[in-house]
Amino acid sequence: MNAQAPDPRLTRYFADFPLPVLAVIARSGTGKTTLLSSLVPLLNEAGVRVAVIKHSHHDVDIDQPGKDSYRMRQAGAHQVMLASPHRCFWIAEGDGETEPQLSDLLQRLDVARLDLVLLEGYRHESVAKLEVHRAEVSGDPLVFSDPQVIAVASDEALGISVPGLDIDDLAGIRDFILRQLGHSCA
């Protein structure tokens, strides 16, 4: 399926990480999660195995009170891993102030089972970025101040020097990503 090597902008920021990395960035409320949750199945259908790392500024907890893994954390375990034939997850307690390093998170991925890592957020990281821009929500496009933005998915024409993608054309956005990965598009 690969016709050529991935666009070097997707691989040059983590020399010791073997997979392409693309951050989907936008101001809050613009639709990053909506876009990603629509793109991931389209990429899977195209044969691309995707991991997503989502950044949050909030105190999130995916564990459930009363469950064994929750009880282990409450008992003081600094890290808990839950494994079953269906899925595995890992929880590490933070100090509430220090951001986990993206390079450390990337190293936790099983790269043998992946082709692409999509980041939701991480707009201040030095990685290739796809900006999501909506006229009514976004304000000034980030592409004008961030040279690592390689394309903008928007609901309006912006007059930018990188590819502008129609935010409602999910197949077109998928094809753009596939081309960046060196895949041919049907």
Query: Model confidence over 137-161: pLDDT tens digits?
Result: 878 899 999 999 999 999 999 999 9
**182 and 6 in contact (C-beta within 8 Å)?**
yes
Residues 10, 16, 20: CA angle, nearest 5 degrees: 20
pLDDT in tens, 20-75: 999 999 988 899 999 999 999 999 999 999 999 988 765 666 777 888 888 888 88
**79 and 93 in contact (C-beta within 8 Å)?**
yes
**73 and 63 in contact (C-beta within 8 Å)?**
yes
pLDDT score recorded for residue 117: 95
Phi, psi of 140 (to 5 degrees): -65, 135
* Cα–Cα dist 51/83, whole Å: 18
Q: Which residues contact 17 (CB under 8 A, 6 or more apart)?
A: 103, 106, 107, 111
The verdict on pTM exceeding 0.75 is: yes
Fold held by 8-59+96-135+148-180: Rossmann fold (3.40.50)
Phi, psi of 71 (to 5 degrees): -65, -35
